[in-house]
Amino acid sequence: MSTGFFNELWISKMMIFRGIYMCVFVSFTAIVIGTILGMFVGLALTYGNMFTRFLARFYVDVIRGVPVLVLILTIYFVLPVIKINFTALQAGITSLAIFSSAQIAEMLRGGLQNIPKGQTEAAKAVGLGFFQTFVFVSLPQALRQVLPTWVNTAVETVKGSTLVSLIGVVELTLVMQQIIGRNFLTMQFYAMAGLIYFLICFSIERGGKYVEKKVAIK
Amino acid sequence: MDYYIDYSVVWRSLGTLFHALGIDLYMTLFSVALGSLIGLVVAFALVSERKIFRILSSTYVAVIRNVPLLIIVLFIYFGLPDAGFVFSEIPSFIFALTIYAGAYVAEVFRGGILAIPKGVGEAGMAIGMSNLQIIVFIKIPILIRSTMPALSSTYISLFKDASVAAIISVPELTFHIRKINLETFRTIEAWSTATVFYVVACFLIAFLLRRVERRVAIPK
């Protein structure tokens, strides 16, 4: 290799930036969709009747029993067969969203069920309805409780987003592989990838810790 | 075009699939065993009084927990040969998963160490045990018993992570399923089989670990 690592890094900076953007975009969209979906499933798990509870439990257990990679490949390959034409990007986001929704549903259920019974009873005593109790009493407490796990899920989703490179989404991992394919600086660029992912995940973790401290009950 | 369901392809390669699942289990078992040892040592370093131990161990845990497994695997399998360390697929994946497991297990154990009542260590000191003896004969047994539930969920997620080995073409379950998919286009059959295999395997592992948990649980 005649050219040095930093030279190669400089040449490929735009590709890397685009890769980072794609990685963040995929993870962020997946987390947002997954959180919304997971809220519904979590509610079904906690307050649903026997049938919805069973369905939600089945969904959560199956998704949590399958590796992210298998989930991604399954959705990418199976969707076209049942006549849903998603691009690789859409399929990747969908699978990561489904993955995170199961985690979020499970932790929300835990959070809601951990709330002391006295709280909901007190709410009932002051005349709040089910919906009001949920929004003003249960949810704020549950959210505070699940925040650390939620941040964890967000980090897991970012880490899972590396796997969508397998179905051809040009995010950071695939970008790095393309760069390595050109200059064969394998170790350096994978280390670079590791560093970038570390920075992304570490800042999510730190940000989560900060918010946790902000919203903690003193 | 109408898709009809035909499981015969999957049925024919069922033996291979079980063998592939065996490779998954084998790699997981290896990494979990080694990773737990690393995790145990690192956890004690994390709560050590020596600052240098704390810095080194917390760097290891923070770095590994925030870097995707795929990047670690690719780095070890494709990157390390540049530095003269050549491994074949399975050992290199076990190496990667071990390092990965070590950080997660360390984090679990760290929580466990902090939860051990102070009096236990002091009691050991009172009967004249050395620091090492206190750790080996008192703290580690308590630690393993009290953290078993958290450990088992870490182990299960490591088993699922073993599917990443497919990417460096270790002939494990995901790899074979993908092969069946690409060779025969029996997409739904292949991936539903993968789902069933993984869900059932996770369920069985969870069942076994729960029995272990119950056996080693500290009676209240």
pLDDT band at B1 (very low <50, low <70, confident <90, very high): low
Q: What would the mean pLDDT of A82-91 be, rounded to a whole number? A: 90
Q: What would the mean pLDDT of A31-51 be, rounded to a whole number? A: 92
Q: What pLDDT is attached to residue A83?
A: 86
pLDDT band at A66 (very low <50, low <70, confident <90, very high): very high
Q: Does the distance separating the beta carbons of B163 and A67 come in below 8 Å? A: yes
Instruction: Name every chain A residue with its beta carbon within 8 A of the beta carbon of B170.
Output: none
Q: What pLDDT is attached to residue A217?
A: 77
Mean pLDDT of chain B: 92
Q: Is the pLDDT of residue A192 over 60?
A: yes
- Mutating which of B187, B189, B198, B204 best tests the A interface, going by the most A Cβ atoms within 10 A? B187
Which positions in chain B have a beta carbon within 8 angstroms of at least one beta carbon in chain A?
A: 3, 62-63, 65-72, 74-75, 78-83, 160-164, 166-167, 174, 177-178, 181, 187-188, 190-191, 194-195, 198-199, 202-203
Give the CA distances from residue B76 to residues A73, A191, B63, B89, in Å, rounded to whole numbers and listed in that order. Answer: 24, 10, 15, 10
Q: Which residues contact A176 (CB under 8 A, 6 or more apart)?
A: A16, A19, A189, A190, A192, A193
* Residue owning tokens 């997981």: B28
Q: Is A84 on the interface with B (CB under 8 A)?
A: no
Q: What pLDDT is attached to residue B211?
A: 93
pLDDT band at A2 (very low <50, low <70, confident <90, very high): low
Instruction: Name every chain B residue with its beta carbon within 8 A of the beta carbon of A173.
Output: 68, 70-71, 74
Q: What would the mean pLDDT of B168-186 be, rounded to a whole number? A: 91
Shortest CA gap A2–chain B (Å): 16
Q: Is the pLDDT of residue A11 over 90?
A: no
Q: For B16-32, what is each residue's pLDDT tens digit?
A: 999 999 999 999 999 99
**Share of residues in chain A with pLDDT > 70 (%):** 98
Q: What would the mean pLDDT of B4-8 be, rounded to a whole number? A: 84
Q: What pLDDT is attached to residue B194?
A: 94
Instruction: Please tell me the class of the A5-215 domain.
Output: mainly alpha
Q: Does the distance separating the beta carbons of A202 and B163 come in below 8 Å? A: no
Q: What would the mean pLDDT of B80-103 be, rounded to a whole number? A: 91
Q: For B28-73, what is each residue's pLDDT tens digit?
A: 999 999 999 999 999 999 998 899 999 999 999 999 999 999 999 9
Angle B194-B198-B201 from CA coordinates, rounded to 5°: 140
Contacts of A174-179 with C-beta under 8 Å, sequence gap 24+, read A174/A19, A175/A12, A175/A15, A175/A16, A175/A18, A175/A19, A175/A22, A176/A16, A176/A19, A177/B74, A178/A15, A179/A8, A179/A12, A179/A15, A179/A16
Q: How far, rounded to the nearest angstrom, does the alpha carbon of residue A166 sit from its chain's CA centroid?
A: 18
Judged on CB neighbours under 10 Å (0-12, 13-18, 19+), B137 is exposed
Shortest CA gap B164–chain A (Å): 7
d(CA A168, CA A155): 22
Q: What pLDDT is attached to residue A151?
A: 94
Q: What pLDDT is attached to residue B218?
A: 83
Q: What pLDDT is attached to residue B4?
A: 82
Instruction: Name every chain A residue with its beta carbon within 8 A of the beta carbon of B163.
Output: 67, 69-70
Shortest CA gap B192–chain A (Å): 8
The minimal CB distance from B198 to the residues A65, A197, A201 is found for A65
| Backbone phi and psi for residue A160, each to the nearest 5 degrees, phi listed first | -65, -25
Q: Is the pLDDT of residue B135 over 70?
A: yes
User: For chain A, which residues make up each domain, given as ranges?
Assistant: 5-215
- Mutating which of A69, A165, A203 best tests the B interface, going by the most B Cβ atoms within 10 A? A69
pLDDT band at B82 (very low <50, low <70, confident <90, very high): confident
For B67, nearest residue in chain A (alpha carbons):
A198
Instruction: Name every chain A residue with its beta carbon within 8 A of the beta carbon of B199.
Output: 61-62, 65-66
Domains parsed from chain B with CATH numbers: 14-216 (1.10.3720.10)
Q: What pLDDT is attached to residue A137?
A: 87
pTM of the model: 0.91
Q: What would the mean pLDDT of A111-138 be, rounded to a whole number? A: 87
HSE-up of residue A126 (Cα within 13 Å, Cβ side): 10
Q: What would the mean pLDDT of B151-166 be, rounded to a whole number? A: 93
d(CA A189, CA A182): 11
Higher pLDDT, A202 or A2: A202
Q: What would the mean pLDDT of A109-122 be, rounded to a whole number? A: 88
pLDDT band at B84 (very low <50, low <70, confident <90, very high): confident
pLDDT band at B108 (very low <50, low <70, confident <90, very high): very high
